[in-house]
Amino acid sequence: MKPARVMSIRRYLLTSLILALTAGSFLVVIFTYTTAADEIDELYDKNMMEITETLKSQITALDLEDRHIKNTVEFSLESTIKEEQEFLVQIWDKNGSSIYTSHRTIPYPFQEKRGAAITEFAGEPWRTYGVETNDFIIQISQPQKARDHYIHEISFHLLYPLLFVIPMVGFFLWLAVGRSLIPLHDISVAITKRSATRLQPLSENTPIEIQPLVRELNELLARLNTSLQAQRNFVADAAHQLRTPLTALQLQLGNLKRAKTDIERERNAANLQNGINRATQLVQQLLTLARLEPDAAEPQKPFINLTHLAQHVLTAHTDMALDKNIDLKLHSITGILVPGNEENICVLLENLLGNALRYTPTGGKVIIHVYTENGQAVINVLDNGIGIKESERERIFERFYRVLGTEVEGTGLGLSIARSIAEQHGGTITVADGIDGKGVGFVVALPLSDKK
């Protein structure tokens, strides 16, 4: 994970949080505006009503005698009502002639309707409240625009702090997001410091959101460490084990160069050939083991006929069995199918059968059973050869382990390869007694193919 990716999480979080904040603020603005508009309308409607009622109770006919106004002044836009506290007050007598107006320049007409009303005047909505006494008709009016102006002003005063609040909150978010991403950044730095030779686990002292990630990473690191350690041990072992055949080759070559007679030369050349064969076998087996590393991708088949494979391997070893006069038999039920890599299962069978034939003395017996048991395919390779002591049975699967005192040549890798193959196929390999309690028997159990 590169730090740039961590930074983009920060940017994503910041953008989405600020967008959400802005959208929320916008909703607040709309709600505030409409509520304020309604409240203010209600307030001034009530105000107009109260002024009207006050006038109604105080006005007398006498006060207004001879105050009839002549409709002489022209309407002028200059003198319209702009402030929200300003009202147009008009009084008419019962005959409909104007007695009083607070704004001579506004010829707002007499409304037939009493009470609250919304009308239109000079192309704009006006609000009016009218009341009738015994002698007069009192009408208080105000253009909606005057109120809107006020509503806008109030809304602006309420909302403009948001212009500072949003950047401020954004700034704190930026800090907080940054701080909460520090553990991630720390992990990324810690991972950068890890290498093939330094695979110690990461500290699990992290926020709970990151803990699963750290735990998974630690498990991965542990697996990687085990696998690398195994690889290193293997390479060291292999290098060490290659020295022995190489030494033999060098000495055999030295002897060949010094041979004085043809007979000696031939014998020394034959020795050298044996040495080369042994080195070749070791190299081949090392390659097989390398191929069996857990991560190696190999072609898999869903159905491998174990019966056919066992017959094939048996046929390939007939000569060896005849040479040593060994009674070699295969007992198999037909059509046992297992999934996996055919070549590797073949190597597994070859190694077990080859061992059985090599470690069984002339005139002995080797039997292969192939059958199914407990939902598994089982291959049982039994002999009545020299056998393996109880104390050595666990160690024979170790790489390069050889049973002491064996005269048979070998690399000590065959059984290790067999176990790797069995495990690669999700199976097991175990060792038990051979035929009639003599010799040795290897039992391989492999999962069967899924039925169609």
Partner 1 sequence: MRILLIEDDRMIGESLVHALKANGYAVDWARDGNTGQASLSTTAYNLVLLDIGLPKRSGLEVLKSLRGRKDRVPVLILTARDHVTDRVEGLDSGADDYLVKPFALEEVEARIRALLRRHAGNADPILRSGDITLNTLTKELGYQDKNLVLSAREYALMFALMELPGKIMSRPELEERLYGWNEEISSNAVEVQIHNLRKKLGAELIQNIRGMGYMVSK
SS3 70: coil
> Is 236 one of the binding residues for partner 1 (CB under 8 A)?
no
For 266-290, letters b (16+ CB in 10 Å) and e give eebeebbeebeebbebbeebbebbe
Question: Binding pattern to partner 1, positions 401-420, x when CB under 8 A?
Answer: ---xx---x-----------
Of 411 and 449, which CB lies nearer to partner 1 in the complex structure? Answer: 411
Query: Considering only 55-63, 149-157, 268-276, 432-440, which stretch makes contact with partner 1 by CB under 8 A?
Result: 268-276
d(CA 299, CA 296): 10
**Can you give the C-alpha Rg of the chain in angstroms?**
51
Of 4 and 404, which CB lies nearer to partner 1 in the complex structure? Answer: 404
Query: Considering only 174-182, 252-260, 332-340, 415-423, which stretch makes contact with partner 1 by CB under 8 A?
Result: 252-260
d(CA 258, CA 267): 12
Of 285 and 344, which CB lies nearer to partner 1 in the complex structure? Answer: 285
- Binding residues with partner 1: total (CB under 8 A): 22
Among 82, 94, 232, 258, binds partner 1 (CB under 8 A): 258
CB of 413 to partner 1, least distance (A): 16
Q: What Cα–Cα distance (Å) separates residue 432 from each residue in 117, 199, 415, 438?
A: 107, 39, 14, 10
Of 227 and 273, which CB lies nearer to partner 1 in the complex structure? Answer: 273
CB of 409 to partner 1, least distance (A): 7
Among 130, 143, 183, 245, binds partner 1 (CB under 8 A): 245
> DSSP string covering 387-440, please?
---GGGTTGGGSTT---TT--S---S-HHHHHHHHHHHTT-EEEEEE-GGG-SE
Question: Binding pattern to partner 1, positions 183-222, x when CB under 8 A?
Answer: ----------------------------------------
The CA-CA-CA angle for residues 186, 187, 191, to 5°, reads 120
d(CA 164, CA 156): 13
Among 102, 119, 144, 274, binds partner 1 (CB under 8 A): 274
> Is 263 one of the binding residues for partner 1 (CB under 8 A)?
no
d(CA 86, CA 105): 14
d(CA 142, CA 44): 9
Of 254 and 294, which CB lies nearer to partner 1 in the complex structure? Answer: 254
Residues that bind partner 1 (CB under 8 A): 240, 243-252, 254-255, 258, 268, 271, 274-275, 278, 404-405, 409
